[in-house]
Structure 1
Amino acid sequence: MRTSRFNRIQSRRNTSAKKIILIGIAVAAFLLICFSIYKAVSFFSNIQTGKPTTEVKPTKKPEEKNTYNILLLGYGGGNHDGTYLTDTIIVLHIDLKQKKTILVSIPRDIWINIPTKSGDEYNSKINSAYQLGLYPKNYPDLDTNLIKTDKTGFIKNAAKQITGLDMDGYLAIDFTGFTKAIDILGGIEVDVERSFTDYE
């Protein structure tokens, strides 16, 4: 009899323990479902209202460029001696903020240093720098890093050495192009009262 009673008590305890475990599992499952529903509602609510789920920091706006430096080059071209020697070299500085332009003429006879592969010193007049960039194969020892993507690299670098300004672009024109430009503008009348011939 005692054994039977003990078994009944033990059975009740086991049943109670099982109930507690089942209730705990049910509560945990309920909480998990509620949490999942909450996250789902929040997610779709953000989509509908257009609100970002994460904070997006605005990127820094790049500084606006207000100044430009353009290198103006004039050369003989055609059958002229020194076809690509730029006897006219002018730096055009444009300041958009102050609404000003400045023209700085660089003398053609200024001597500059041209970089070489061997490291040997190579000096030349600045008016030859444009030609060196156009025909580097004629000068095998030249360091061509400056003209890999821009044939005006040598003369732009030379202009920077003299003025301290980086060149944003360039305009090169020969006598034929200059004549056409004047014609487009309507021409210029020149009255030469006394002509002369220069034999030198």
Structure 2
Amino acid sequence: MSHDVMEPGTRAERRNAGRRPKKRRTGRIILLTLLVLVLATGGWLYWLYSSLDSNIKAVDLDKELGVNRPEKVPSTGQNLLVLGSDSRAGDNAALDKAAVSGARSDTALVIHVPEGRSGAVAVSIPRDTLITRPECKRRDGSEAPEARQVMFNSVYAQFGPACVVKTVEKMSRIRLDHYMEIDFAGFKDLVDVIGGVTIDIDKAISDKHSGLELAAGAQHLDGTQALAFARTRYGIGDGSDLGRIGNQQKFLTALLAEVKRQDLLGSPTKTYKIANSATEALTTDSGLASLTSLGDYARSLNGVDPTNMETIMLPVAYDKTDPNRVVAHEPNASRLWTAIREDTDIPESAKKSPATGG
């Protein structure tokens, strides 16, 4: 049996690995991000900026994964895997005041948009969930055998996005139609282009890791400050990722509001710069890796109301051999994936997670 090395994580991260995120919070983060991208690149403008296509990084899932994938069930809606990545390089490394290499996928959601409905469901997979990783290609092209008891968060770092898609499809038996990865560091330039964002800070923040110092109240942040705010967790709450998720929600809400406020029609140059910054932060599957395809896909989701987005955490229980990790709780997890796969209502029993007391 092969084992990958699991990232140790902090005690706070371990302690909070299985806690239930607030309802719809993470889903709204992703929806707001998509809205920013659509606003910046979609509608009547996208055809003007064919040169921006090269900014969007693509993953050819058909080539990487082959034909051994779950079958697509007709008329069961769309399934999208969204990862929030943290490259730990460039701007991100500067924030940590250290030369930190590698990459992490700190947010992972399977978003299901039912056929012909206005609502949507986002299943959040806790980063510390122990899973069985299928056989995957390493980043150098060599093959790695299947491995059990692997931390979900490590798959992206060691094998890249195609292996994450393969892993999620294996654990859910759901065919993923599209993949989207968003790097928060890519929004730094976008914030500077629009002249900064104003964010309401609930409590003063003092983060020695990033050097971020913010007083409570309304604060106008530049790109560097906004990125630090979106990433900090040491200066807020108990140091867990849950506090950072709340900050990211505020950051993207403020960003969207500021982009909407900008006079895009009156400033084509600024519009181009906004579109350029937004697309540089984006990686998609090859089917979405153009402004035309991205715009078409965004318009196909026009009927989805963000207020009807329900975020459900994958039901998990503490691992019996390592209580600092969690595992999918059965039969609840299987019931959840089956309901999504068959496009039926999700039973309440499928939402219960022993690790959170639910």
* TM-score grouping bracket, smaller chain normalisation: 0.3 to 0.5
- Give 1 or 2 for the bigger CA radius of gyration: 1
Query: How does the TM-score come out when normalised to structure 1?
Result: 0.48
Query: How does the TM-score come out when normalised to structure 2?
Result: 0.29
Where relative contact order (Cα < 8 A, 6+ residues apart) is larger, the structure is 2
